[in-house]
Structure formats: structure tokens, C-alpha cells
């Protein structure tokens, strides 16, 4: 046995991850793929990697030092289950199976239990950063037993991206069983929100602010030097600056305005709904992609609108207002995402350190951003923080954006330019900030039609009013 790590599944992600592993000092990488052509092609294309090629699962297992460690990078779903079964046949107690695919955390919880019962370790690891991340350094979110991290940790640290601020590898043991894939799912949900908010900012600058895509690209490039500095802002400037070579039109005008999705945003919202965690910014981002795809409805409704609202007149200060609205809404998206992570941790019994999660997102992944340092600092100051916006720094940042944020949401409404994520984020903020919510009235309605009872502000207990009779009140829990 000559390899210290193996990779199963050598499509684009697996091949790049295997090359990344092989390029690090001290690693010898065994590779296996269901169809052997991929294995042989990869080894032939990269002789410098010194891959140990294998054609059967038994050969693969025999080529690995103990405890054997294998990373699976196959299509999420049935293929993953099939490969886990095959590995369990040839691996021995103490060996470690890592699933680096985009698995749903429920599946990871199930698989971890099944593999553990066979005496092996199973680690579901979220890997972010796409093909390029896999090759040059992804952000890695491993779950699974803490014990397996002793073997796996140094290997993953060797290939992970490194935070620009302090060079620490973007990987940490997130928590047990499905914790890693849960955090990866929320990462993707936040990514949806981030992208939608940037999209709304662009739309407002263009349709209300009257700016051209190239001018907006300049704005984004400038914003990328401040609080908003992030990969997504950076690539937004690139996309907006690009001119279609065929038509000479701004590239953004050539793209069909229908956003695709592969499901992780939907998983995030479904999970949040089942845990009753309000992730309204992420939810609006997923719904906005849905609206964009309702082509027939859009075509049916558009001609029925006979009066378009008058476009409000804005001055140069509008650009800064939009920047502040984007920043405040982005803080809310992260506040909601971290709320979901911590609620998931409570529900599933994971000991997740939110500051450590913020730190491993600083490089290698799509939502990498300067302000993740601020999030790590906030949880460092108070690990029990109830909400990111309860932290003094973020509370101050949001308060400083408050007036601009309201002007932008109001302007969008006047102009008839949709800004669902901006609006939902502001409403969420106002809900948390309100002394009293109309939930009191809802409890009254619920008691009226369903005798669901209500609490009183002036004394403990549950109460019901006899709505159909003399409206006397009685305590129902004593």
C-alpha cells in the first residue's frame, strides 16, 4: 500500500481534487473511477501527479495505507450510495469514507449511521469553489466523527484555500454527521441571496439611476474596494463590463433573463421552513429565480399593465444609497443564514462554532468576502449572540445604512422595479426592531375561530375568550 489518500469519481471535480491532493508535499493519491478510461486518461494527462491507478475497488483498497481514507466525488444521490456500499465491502473498521459531493444533509445523517454500524467512519464534507476551487484550493466543510478529523484534517488542510488575512486553511471540523453538508447548503442559500441583492442593485442603478452597464461595472469595481469587497461583486463588474463580440451590445443584454438553479437554494428554504427559521432574503432570492422562469405568465401579465408608474427622479446620491441598501441587506442575509445554521445545530445536536464557519468561508468559496472577518469577530465577542444584527458592530453598520435603505426600497416601489430581497430584508429588520408585532392580533383571530388560546402581557398562563358566548375569559392551562 503506497497511497495515503484515494479519490473515487474522476469527473471534473474529482479529477481536480485528485490533482490538488497530489500536488501537496507528502501525498500519494490512489485514483478509481467506475469507467477506467477516466482513470487512465487522468494519469496519462498528469504524469507529474504520480497517481496510483486502480481498476477495481479491491485494488483501490489495497493501494491505501491504514486507516484508509477515500474521498468520493461522484454524482450526488444514488451513485453516492452505490459507491459507499462498494467501499464498505473492501474497507475495514477504522477506515474513513469521505463524501465530497453535494449531498443533502439528511442523506449524510443516514449514511453516517449506516457506515458507522459497519465499524467505519463516514464524513460528509461540503466542498465549495467549483472546478477551480477543487484544483487550487476549495473551502471545505467536513462533518462526521471528530476522531476521523485527526487523520483527515491535515490532508484537507493541505489542499484547502488559505484566508488572505492570516493564511489559515479554509477547513474546520464543522460538527458531527450531517453538519458539514448542512453548512454547505446554507452557504449556497446565502450565495443565492447575495446574487439576488447584487442583481437588484444593478437593476435599480440602471432603470432608476439611468446608468449604462459599463458605468455600473465601474461602480461595482469601486465598491469592491470597500465594505462590500467580495468575489461576487468582483465578477459582477467583469460580467457587466463585457461586450458581446457578435452584436457589440452589453453582454448582460444578450443573456436570456431566466435564472437556472440546481436545488441547494430550495433545500435551504425548505429546511428553514421546517425549522421555522425566517430566511426571507434567501427565500425571495429563490422565488425571484422562479419568477424569472415563469415565461408564459410574464408574457400574459405584461400587456395587461396599462399604466406604468412614473420614474422617480434621483440624483447622484442614489448610487451611494443603493450601495448602503445592498450592504445592509447583505448583513441581513448572513444574519438569517447564521440563524439557520445555529437553529440546525440545536435541532440536530451539532456543536457548530459560527465564528469558525465564517472564517472558512473567507477564501475558496463563492461567497468569500472581506466582511466574513467581521462576522467571525462578532461571534468571537459573544459566542451566544442572538443575531448578527444584535452585535454592536453590525447594529451600527445597519443603523448607518437605515435611511438610505428605506429610500431605496421606497424608490423601487414607486418606480415599479422589483426589489424583493431588499424589501424582505428591510421588513425582517423592522420586525425584529418593533416593540409590538401584529402577531398579537393573529393570536386573537386564532383564538376566535379555533380556540387556539393566547398569552397575556400582564400575567402568565394560556387563555381563551368565549367569542360566541358572553366573551368571558378563562384560563386554560391551570
Size of interface with ligand NBP, in residues (CB under 6 A): 22
Between CA 174 and CA 144 the distance in angstroms is 8
Among the residue ranges 75-83, 219-227, 302-310, 432-440, the one whose residues contact ligand NBP (CB under 6 A) = 75-83
Contact 51, 29 (CB under 8 A): yes
With CA atoms as reference, report the closest residue to 323 among 407, 393, 427, 239: 407
Distance in Å, CB of 55 to ligand NBP, minimum: 12
Which residues touch 204 (CB under 8 Å, ≥6 apart)? Answer: 318, 322, 408, 411, 412, 415, 417, 419
Residue 41 makes contact with ligand NBP by CB under 6 A = no
What b/e sequence results for 396-413 when a residue is b if at least 16 CB atoms lie within 10 Å of its CB, and e otherwise? Answer: ebbeebbebbebbbebbe
And the C-alpha cell for 210? 439611468
Residue 35 makes contact with ligand NBP by CB under 6 A = yes
And the C-alpha cell for 83? 459507491
359 is catalytic: no
Distance in Å, CB of 365 to ligand NBP, minimum: 10
End-to-end CA distance of the chain: 70
What letter does residue 68 receive in the DSSP assignment?
P
Distance in Å, CB of 343 to ligand NBP, minimum: 24
Single out the catalytic residue among 59, 92, 132, 191: 191
Among 1, 44, 45, 82, binds ligand NBP (CB under 6 A): 82
Residue 14 makes contact with ligand NBP by CB under 6 A = yes
Q: 289 or 407: whose CB is closer to ligand NBP?
A: 289
And the C-alpha cell for 419? 426589489
Among 59, 62, 106, 131, binds ligand NBP (CB under 6 A): 131
Distance in Å, CB of 355 to ligand NBP, minimum: 24
Among the residue ranges 76-84, 206-214, 340-348, 390-398, the one whose residues contact ligand NBP (CB under 6 A) = 76-84
> Computed from CA positions of residues 461, 467, 472, 476, in that sequence, does the dihedral angle turn out positive or negative?
negative
Q: 106 or 131: whose CB is closer to ligand NBP?
A: 131
Residue 127 makes contact with ligand NBP by CB under 6 A = yes
And the C-alpha cell for 10? 474522476
Contact 84, 112 (CB under 8 A): no
184 is catalytic: yes
Which stretches of 293-316 are DSSP H helices? Answer: 295-301
Distance in Å, CB of 111 to ligand NBP, minimum: 13
Which residues participate in catalysis according to the annotation?
Answer: 184, 191
Residues that bind ligand NBP (CB under 6 A): 9-14, 33-35, 38, 73-76, 79, 82-83, 101-102, 127, 130-131
Amino acid at each position: 500500500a503506497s497511497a495515503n489518500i484515494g479519490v473515487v469519481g474522476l469527473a471534473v471535480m474529482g479529477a481536480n481534487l485528485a490533482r490538488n491532493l497530489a500536488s501537496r508535499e507528502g501525498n500519494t493519491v490512489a485514483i478509481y473511477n467506475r469507467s477506467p478510461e477516466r482513470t487512465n486518461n487522468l494519469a496519462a494527462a498528469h504524469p507529474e501527479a504520480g497517481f496510483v491507478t486502480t481498476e477495481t475497488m479491491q485494488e483501490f483498497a489495497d493501494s491505501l495505507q491504514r486507516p484508509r481514507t477515500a474521498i468520493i466525488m461522484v454524482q450526488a444521490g444514488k451513485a453516492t450510495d452505490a459507491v459507499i456500499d462498494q467501499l464498505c465491502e473492501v474497507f475495514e473498521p477504522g477506515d474513513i469514507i469521505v463524501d465530497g459531493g453535494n449531498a443533502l444533509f439528511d442523506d449524510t445523517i443516514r449514511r453516517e449511521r449506516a457506515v458507522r454500524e459497519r465499524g467505519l467512519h463516514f464524513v460528509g464534507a461540503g466542498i465549495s469553489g467549483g472546478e477551480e476551487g477543487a484544483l487550487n484550493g476549495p473551502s471545505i466543510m467536513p462533518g462526521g466523527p471528530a476522531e476521523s478529523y485527526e487523520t483527515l484534517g491535515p490532508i484537507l488542510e493541505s489542499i484547502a484555500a488559505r484566508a488572505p488575512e492570516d493564511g489559515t486553511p479554509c477547513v474546520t471540523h464543522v460538527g458531527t454527521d450531517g453538519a458539514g453538508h448542512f453548512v454547505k447548503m446554507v452557504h449556497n442559500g446565502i450565495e443565492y441571496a447575495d446574487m439576488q441583492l447584487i442583481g437588484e442593485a444593478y437593476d435599480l442603478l440602471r432603470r432608476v439611476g439611468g446608468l449604462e452597464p459599463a458605468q455600473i461595472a465601474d461602480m461595482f469595481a469601486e465598491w469592491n474596494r470597500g465594505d462590500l469587497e467580495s468575489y461576487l461583486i468582483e465578477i459582477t463588474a467583469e460580467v457587466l463590463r463585457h461586450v458581446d463580440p457578435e452584436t457589440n451590445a452589453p453582454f448582460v443584454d444578450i443573456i436570456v433573463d431566466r435564472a437556472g438553479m440546481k436545488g441547494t437554494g430550495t433545500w435551504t428554504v425548505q429546511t428553514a421552513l421546517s425549522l421555522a427559521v425566517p430566511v426571507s432574503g434567501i427565500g425571495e432570492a429563490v422565488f425571484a429565480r422562479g419568477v424569472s422562469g415563469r415565461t408564459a405568465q410574464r408574457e400574459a401579465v405584461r400587456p395587461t399593465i396599462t399604466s406604468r408608474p412614473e420614474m422617480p427622479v434621483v440624483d447622484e446620491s442614489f448610487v451611494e444609497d443603493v450601495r448602503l441598501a445592498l450592504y445592509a441587506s447583505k448583513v441581513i442575509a448572513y444574519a438569517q443564514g447564521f440563524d439557520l445554521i445555529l437553529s440546525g445545530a440545536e435541532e440536530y445536536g451539532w456543536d457548530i462554532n459560527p465564528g469558525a464557519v465564517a472564517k472558512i468561508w473567507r477564501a475558496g468559496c463563492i461567497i468569500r468576502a472581506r466582511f466574513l472577518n467581521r462576522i467571525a469577530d462578532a461571534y468571537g465577542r459573544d459566542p451566544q449572540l442572538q443575531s448578527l444584527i444584535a452585535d454592536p458592530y453590525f447594529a451600527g453598520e445597519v443603523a448607518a445604512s437605515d435611511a438610505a435603505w428605506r429610500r431605496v426600497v421606497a424608490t423601487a416601489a414607486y418606480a415599479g422595479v422589483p426589489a424583493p430581497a431588499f424589501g424582505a430584508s428591510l421588513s425582517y429588520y423592522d420586525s425584529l426592531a418593533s416593540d409590538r408585532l401584529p402577531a398579537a392580533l393573529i393570536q386573537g383571530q386564532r383564538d376566535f375561530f379555533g380556540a387556539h388560546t393566547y398569552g397575556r402581557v400582564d400575567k402568565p398562563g394560556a387563555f381563551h375568550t368565549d367569542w360566541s358566548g358572553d366573551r368571558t375569559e378563562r384560563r386554560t392551562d391551570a
